[in-house]
Amino acid sequence: MHFQSVTFDLDGTLLDTVGDLAEASNRMLRELGLPTYGEDEIRLFIGRGINVLVERCLTRPEPPAAEQLDRAIAAFKRHYAEVNGQFTDLYPGVLEGLQAWQATGLPMAVITNKAAAFTEPLLERKGLRGFFSVVVSGDTTAHKKPHPEPVFHACRVMGCTPERNLHIGDSIHDIHAAKAAGSAAYCVPYGYNEGQAVSAADCDALVGDLGEALRLARTC
């Protein structure tokens, strides 16, 4: 196989976390005396980390003042810590796909824009932490996806070159981060992309699940 390592996005690729994020968002909004959103609406706000999610929740239609945003972010983090993992499910085929990738012996990493305080507990609660030698969270490096630094960091720690790394995600942010780092990018079609579906033209391959990604990678 051409690839020497593989990195995975978390929300929208491995885990469907919208239930947790919607619950925490709506608890935050109720605390602030603001109207809540449906889960499908919250789904459109996901993709650039907690601060952007909260800001989008408060933009009705004008962005919130800095003081209100800071207060809302603090409230969200408190509520999210309480529900983290309770309303999250693995996507179909994820566990089997990760087991198959692990059997290749390639080092594996998670790259997410979620803060480490939430990423590590979530991986543990869903039984996924043991698959990964590296976890790159939104506050691990100075920049988040779509900046390439999280991919560079994961590859440095794994001892692999970005050019021989495969990144698997669900959004244009994953594609941009991977491409900027020099990595190949496969995308799954079922995750979050702020309402804009990714297509095969955007990435190196559009795959139905992690197992299909491995089968395709073996041909490279």
Residue 197 pLDDT: 75
Q: Give domain 5-16+89-217's CATH number out of 3.40.50.2300, 3.40.50.2000, 3.40.50.720, 3.40.50.1000.
A: 3.40.50.1000
Residue 117 pLDDT: 95
Instruction: Identify the active-site residue in 9, 170, 202, 209.
Output: 9
Going by C-beta distance under 8 Å and a sequence separation of 6 or more, which residues neighbour residue 214? 97, 100, 101, 104
Residue 203 pLDDT: 95
What distance in Å separates the CA atoms of residue 31 and residue 42, rounded to the nearest whole number? Answer: 17
Residue 150 pLDDT: 98
Q: Which residues in the chain land under pLDDT 70?
A: 195
Q: Helix H segments across the chain?
A: 18-31, 39-43, 50-58, 66-83, 94-103, 116-125, 149-158, 172-181, 210-217
Q: Please identify which residue in the block is written with the tokens 């919250």.
A: 42
Q: Give domain 18-83's CATH number out of 3.30.560.10, 2.70.70.10, 1.10.150.240, 1.10.3720.10.
A: 1.10.150.240
Residue 57 pLDDT: 97
Same fold yes or no, 5-16+89-217 and 18-83 = no
H, E, C per residue of 108-154: EEEECCCCHHHHHHHHHHCCCHHHCCEEECCCCCCCCCCCCHHHHHH
Residue 217 pLDDT: 98
Question: Is 40 tagged catalytic?
Answer: no
